[in-house]
Amino acid sequence: MATAIEPRPLADLEMDSLVAVEAVRESRARGVRPWTNQEYLDAIDAVHARYNLRRTWLRIHEQETTS
């Protein structure tokens, strides 16, 4: 019998996304055109914005997701 897999908390998913941004920055640092500090900060901000929008949506639709 299959067991239900618990969804991972958004904070964990957000951290995974931030680690992915760090990995991209690291790989680009060894390339021809590394990220500028502003490009790096923009990528970090984009991750936070995406997860903040998701949290807002979940708060608004809390009743719909629990039924």
pLDDT digits (tens, 9 = 90+) for 5-61: 878 899 999 999 999 999 999 999 999 899 999 999 999 999 999 999 999 999 998
Residue 26 lies in a domain: yes
Number of structural domains the chain divides into: 1
Q: Is the pLDDT of residue 2 over 70?
A: no
> Which residue range forms the structural domain that includes residue 34?
10-66
Residue 36 C-alpha from the chain's centroid: 20
- The reported pTM is 0.79
Task: Look at residue 61 in the predicted model and tell me its pLDDT.
Answer: 87
Residue 1 lies in a domain: no
CA distances from 39 to 15, 36, 49, 50, 55 (A): 19, 5, 15, 17, 25
Residue 17 lies in a domain: yes
Q: What does the alpha-carbon distance between residue 33 and residue 39 come to, in Å, rounded to a whole number? A: 12
Residue 5 lies in a domain: no
